[in-house]
Amino acid sequence: MWQADALRLTGITAIPYVLMAVVGAVAGSLAVASGIDIDIEHLEDSGPVIGLAIGGGVGLCISIVLSFIAAQAGTFLVVEERLRGEARGISVVGAILSGLSALLPMMGAWLVVGAVVCVALVPAAMVGIAAVSMDSWALGGAAALLLFPVGIAGFVASLRLFAIGPVVVTEDVGPIASIRRSLELTRGKLGDVFVAFLVFGAVMFAVNLVTGILGLIPIVGMLVQLAVGIVVGSLQSVYVYLVYGALRDQQG
């Protein structure tokens, strides 16, 4: 599936990386050109500059993260197009732009999941705070024990909810409906999903290990890591969608 449309898929995945590189280069150039000089002894006078830099940096980081999500959604659209046997109708830029429409429901779904996780972490957090304030090893151990089942539940939830993105993109549903649909698709299939991602994860670990070693080579290593990151990113998005498609086909 990936090989049949590798150029378009890697192009979609490459756009956020290019955006990240351009933003970093522009920000660095502007910082050097402006000659910003922060006086540590009179830090309060530099407050506006620091605030502007932090705000701009956070905004750019959020924009880049959203572009990666949009790229993944665009990849889902391309794969679905292929699975349906349709003629190639969506361009690289068109896939990214179409993926933007899925941002709100996808982010909404993961915010709901994140809120549930935060609530589940409250007991462990409270015990942990008490352990620190009272300097109690016993309470610290209790906090760690409380975190263990939450971690297991979080891992299981990540497998059960992996299909949120493909569901939002393909089935055009909202945040809550996408969560319910992902749970429905993975009901009774937890072992299959775990094995599927375990195999893919093992292969990607080996690839990342090799590229990590190559990354020690100046410049060339960085370029190799970038190229591999783009290819692996597109492969991962295709793989996620194909696992979702398999579960959907099994359900009928």
User: Residue 158: which domain range?
Assistant: 104-187
Does residue 168 fall inside a structural domain? yes
Q: What's the pLDDT at 222?
A: 77
- Percent residues over pLDDT 70 in the chain: 86
Q: Among 54-68, 122-136, 200-214, which is the least confidently predicted range?
A: 54-68
Closest listed residue to residue 65, CA positions, set 106, 30, 36, 31: 106
Pair 117, 138: CB distance under 8 Å:
no
Measured CA to CA in angstroms, residue 232 lies from 94, 207, 239 at distances of 21, 9, 10
> What one-character-per-residue DSSP string does the chain give?
-TGGGHHHHHHHHHHHHHHHHHHHHHHHHHHHHHT----GGGGGGGHHHHHHHHHHHHHHHHHHHHHHHHHHHHHHHHHHHHHTT------HHHHHHHHHTTHHHHHHHHHHHHHHHHHHHHHHHHHHHHHHHHT-HHHHHHHHHHHHHHHHHHHHHHHHTTTHHHHHHHH---HHHHHHHHHHHHTT-HHHHHHHHHHHHHHHHHHHHHHHHHTTSTTHHHHHHHHHHHHHHHHHHHHHHHHHHHHHHHH-
Does residue 153 fall inside a structural domain? yes
Tell me the whole-structure pTM to 2 decimals: 0.81
Query: What is the rounded average pLDDT of the residues 23-42?
Result: 59
Q: Does residue 217 surpass a pLDDT of 80? A: no
Q: What's the pLDDT at 210?
A: 81
Report the domain count for the chain: 1
State how far the Cα of 150 lies from the Cα of 138, in Å rounded to an integer: 19
Does residue 51 fall inside a structural domain? no
Greatest distance between any 2 Cα atoms in the chain: 68
* Tokens read off for 205: 């670990």
Does residue 129 fall inside a structural domain? yes
Query: What is the rounded average pLDDT of the residues 150-162?
Result: 92
Q: Which of the four pLDDT bands, split at 50, 70 and 90, describes residue 43?
A: very low
Does residue 165 fall inside a structural domain? yes
Residue-wise pLDDT for 164-189, tens only, equals: 999 999 998 999 999 999 999 999 99
Does residue 49 fall inside a structural domain? no
> Which residues are CB-contacts of 34 (< 8 A; sequence separation ≥ 6)?
none
Does residue 140 fall inside a structural domain? yes
Q: Does residue 138 surpass a pLDDT of 50? A: yes
Closest listed residue to residue 1, CA positions, set 71, 74, 82, 75: 82
Does residue 10 fall inside a structural domain? no
Query: What is the rounded average pLDDT of the residues 55-66?
Result: 76
